[in-house]
Amino acid sequence: MMQADSNVIKLLLLLSLLGAIVLESADAQNQRRKSSAEFLSSSLLDQGDLNKDGLLASEEWESITRQWYTRMDAGESGRLSREEFLVSMPPLLSGRGTTRKRFRSMTPSQFLVFFLALDVDRDGALDKAEFETVTDHWFQDWSSEGGAKTLNESCMVTGFQKVFPRTNMSGASVISAQGPIPGLPDSSPSPVLPPLLANESIQLVDGFEIKLAASEPMIQDPVALSFDENGNSYVVEMRSFMLDIDRTGELAPICRISLLKDTNGDGVIDESSVFLDKLVLPRAVLACNGGILFVEDYQLYFAKDTDQDGRADLRALLDADYGRSNIEHAPNGLMRAMDNWIYNGRSPWRYRFIQGQWVRERTQIRGQWGMTQDSYGRLFYNVNNSQLLGDFTPPNYMGRNQNYRSTAGLNLFVATDQRVYTSRMNTAVNRGYLPDVLDASGRLHVFASSCSPVIYRGDQYGEDYVGNAFVCDPAANIVKRNHVSDRGMTLSAKQAYEGFEFLSSIDERFRPVNLYSGPDGCLWLLDMYRGIAQYGMFMTDYLRRETLERNLDEGIHHGRLYRIVHQQKQPRVPLDMSVLSGRDLAGLLDHSDGWIRDTAQRLIVESGDLACIPDLLSVARNSNNSVGTVHALWSVEGLLIELGNQVRRRKGDGAVFEVNSRSEFEAPALTPATWAACL
């Protein structure tokens, strides 16, 4: 165990060094950052051009590329993993002729595209033969185009641009025209489809089907959801989002949060009520403490229905500074993790309820829209062009030492393959005018708006699906499935299918914006269902024209909620966990379904019932799996944690206190129970 810990520390220190190396100086930030192709080309020429003629001949190319692989030191295995490659690249580029200032302008993502281009067999590692074969092929291919059998810097830049994985993040240059790509077929009409027809337009892999649970007018423009312990769901409806192409009425108080109930457990919503209305741009919700946390107009609130009429009659401001930005980039998520903290995408804060008091603490900023966790509490998230990022350790572990503020092991590229396989043309995307966004048939070929990842931890799809990452892309009208692997000290994801997706739709208005694990062990999907999915502040002239010409701005206030079921297994009827005793809840901590485990832990901690501790310690000792043990110990921690005397109320409005868990939580007396919490 000590040796393993030592290895972890060594790698994290190396990754920390890498992070420090690639930081730009203040001067460099004022200059244009070189592209990956430009930087590598200049480095190869600086180090490999032995006769100083400004060219690389075949023998010079072979010499420098082979030197690079040798210096990366593949070790006894003879293979370089992706992580080892990223650590090894910086020293290579600090060789002869490469100044420190230029070296700092290279970022980890630029090293990553180099690795992906070399890894032609997509096994996540490089050996000597693969490295030499690929680089030799590049030289032969690029040099033959000019007929000179040598490469100048411009030829190398062009060559790298051809082989590097393409993204769609870059916009048009000043001189670029935002006109449609010539030669594409005409886009077919995209009329509003009624819910049942829209349901039929969705295609899934064999063995699964998608069933409509709710639709307009019951829900409209849904963007977020949370299930409570009764199996009911709270749905955030952003009804003022892009009412027209000009964002008219964006701040109108017409949004709401609805409470949906499936009274007979068949997966179809039977009853609904407006829990909260007259809201301005709500964007997140979390069922907890007998009510909900929700975000409205960039502020965090708690609301509760105290008279059981289906509407909130208690509403309290917790944090007036939850996080401000535009609709597309503001904080969101409210995901309760295994460590009893509530995390948010694009936010430096995490929240928690301790001894009757809401508190917040600084954490790493993660992702863009949505967040999830695996069975050991590690967080996963994404940004619009990178479908899965994640943390090597559970959250805030790396910040416990105040003298070591590294972010190593955080924001790792878990999925490096960004390809998508759509079922229809996707010309109505923000950068559809660029030549590297759509293929010859007018379809997206890489992620454009990846969001709301979910690590599946349910018990309805089979063991092959547990731990898989599912990711939405509303621009591509898909949900992708990835196999996530954790081997030693690496996290990586591989797409489950080649050439098709787990779920896709031929309906352009199908907009999967959020995905959740449900109390029945199935995945639940929110479809915002609309023509305009791009926020107007960032809409290009190209997309504006495409939207108006094809009438995609028409047809608003729709929305659908779907349940994805396995055809060979009858979904479980949700359990009413609100009536269970502490002992019963403790017994569910090693249940086969992750949502049930999470909810049992939440209810135990919220109860504050110390009488549960003997049962929790029994589960920790006798659980059939390590996951149950971890849940039991975190439950003990949640019951015993106390606020210290130095907790300070933050300035400004709201009831939340600001804390630092390194020094401001008092350790309870060291009883056997608290020893368990420290394991």
Q: Which of 333-337, 588-592, 600-604, 661-665 is least confident? A: 661-665
Altogether, the residues listed in the chain come to a count of: 679
Give the whole-angstrom CA distance, residue 559 versus residue 224: 12
Give the whole-angstrom CA distance, residue 85 versus residue 69: 10
> Strand, helix or coil at 264?
coil
Q: Are strands 255-261 and 233-237 parallel, antiparallel or unpaired?
A: antiparallel
Q: Are strands 657-658 and 357-362 parallel, antiparallel or unpaired?
A: parallel
Name residues whose C-beta falls within 8 Å of residue 350's C-beta, 6 or more positions apart in sequence: 341, 342, 343, 344, 360, 361, 362, 363, 395, 396
pLDDT tens digit sequence for 159-171: 888 888 755 444 4
Q: Which residue has the tokens 């990366």?
A: 72
Considering the entire predicted model, what is its pTM?
Answer: 0.78
Count the Cβ atoms, other than its own, within 10 Å of residue 537: 11
Output helix, strand, coil percentages for the chain, rounded to the nearest 5: 30, 25, 45
> Strand, helix or coil at 622?
helix
Confidence band (pLDDT; 50, 70, 90) for 22?
A: very low
**Average pLDDT, whole number, for the chain?**
85
Q: Which of 72-81, 267-276, 367-376 is least confident? A: 72-81
Domain ranges of the chain: 14-163, 206-244+254-394+408-566, 578-678
Is domain 206-244+254-394+408-566 given the CATH code 3.40.50.920 in the classification? no
The pair of three-digit structure tokens given for residue 589, joined into one six-digit string: 């901590």
Count Cα atoms within 13 angstroms, Cβ side, for 247. Answer: 11
Give the whole-angstrom CA distance, residue 40 versus residue 311: 60
Q: Are residues 481 and 502 in contact, defined by beta-carbon separation less than 8 angstroms? A: yes
Q: Which residue has the higher pLDDT, 207 or 164?
A: 207
Q: Which of 122-126, 328-332, 411-415, 521-525 is least confident? A: 122-126
Q: Which of 216-225, 469-478, 504-513, 647-656 is least confident? A: 647-656
Q: Are residues 474 and 490 in contact, defined by beta-carbon separation less than 8 angstroms? A: no
Is the Cα dihedral 606, 610, 615, 621 positive or negative? positive
**Per-residue model confidence (pLDDT) at position 18:** 38
Confidence band (pLDDT; 50, 70, 90) for 177?
A: low
If you average pLDDT over residues 231-244, what whole number do you get? 98
pLDDT tens digit sequence for 23-69: 333 333 334 456 778 888 888 999 999 999 999 999 999 999 998 88
pLDDT tens digit sequence for 416-434: 999 999 999 999 999 888 8
pLDDT tens digit sequence for 298-318: 999 999 999 999 999 999 999
> Strand, helix or coil at 60?
helix
